[in-house]
Structure 1
């Protein structure tokens, strides 16, 4: 009996060690699974969709109620993308047309003393523009010459011409034909002017402004008047005795020290019975008097 006792004890010891090994293995596996969870199942599952961006219109109440004060009160408007051109979408607006713009006169000097008088035929509105000004919302004024002004429309330069330049080829001599009988000298600095001829010339103020080139005359940093140059002998300026180099100062004691005042002065001559023109000729003050008959 004692001979079998030792082998039994060894067998029992081995069984106990095997059981303890299994228990220890289960404990280690449980601890490892807690520290390193399985990822196989998670990797095959689809990723959750990202949260949808909240519609900006949900914040419209903040603007409408003026949460941050009346200055921030307003309305949030959704952006609508324009349909692509050529596929049934609305066509882009055409560039502003300059067909109804006419150049009436120019004054060319320094950058700040260069002007263009332009009329909009559709509204009969006349305005004086400096370089860089927006011309009736059509485009900025970029260049001014004697008979032409240039604006930029849609990235391209577009010319605005005087009536004389537009009709030069068709009827070059018609406007000048009526001016030789406009005025007749009666003495030194005195003229008799035909009323009908004067009114006819003033009705075509655009043509009259092309009969001479008027440039600002600056004295002591201020515009004192306009110096006449390139005077056409048969034009309205030439027939009333104005020469190249004359500086026009006042018309009926109204100073013409800006393009706006010069236009107003010429427009006011219609219907007058007498006209007084103050100027500087050869450095000396001179006065011309005109009787309108």
Structure 2
């Protein structure tokens, strides 16, 4: 009897092992089939990842409005504007809104311009190469003048006391025929307003002709005029190229300083006497300034 039970137990063990082996084989076969599926076989569709949902910014507004995270976070939701886009959208400062208040001219690092932005009511100091507010880059600084580059062109900024440079100093003397009229025999009549307008800028007046020393017996006797500008001071009083200026109101013109001084003293005078040499002959001109 015990022998029969042993045989039955052995058979049951063999059957159980066979069943377990079959189950393991099926599982292994299923796993291998999924891994080694041929290309022509039916593919199993993979689940498509759902794109994350993008909500409008207003969708989250109630979270802050209702204070979901506490009263400290309660408030209104405000969109953040792109700083670059905002800067591009902001209007640029026009050069006419800038006012030059002062300059300091020295070396490159010691040259500055004090500029006021009238629109922003703001004053700042800029060095050469700096961007003047957002109008243009500072490229040149002079006494009472500064220049910035706007759109590839130099634009001048003026101080409140500096007149516009569009009108040249000699503009009032443009009509020489009207400013000076001949009375005959070396006598002339000069328009006083036109003469004073030219003399307001004596340095510019001295560039209205080229004056070179004229020597006689080794000494300077006067100055020879050349390159006389048609609308300048010298042309106004009748001086021509080649004339040698000797005396003005009996004051000798034998040095550049005396020449400049004598012409400056013309302002406010009512009469003028000019001694010169023209074509080798001494000539005297008399002017009545009215």
> What TM-score range do you get, normalising by the shorter chain?
0.3 to 0.5
Q: TM-score, structure 2 length as denominator?
A: 0.42
**Larger RCO (CA within 8 A; separation ≥ 6):** 1
Q: TM-score, structure 1 length as denominator?
A: 0.41
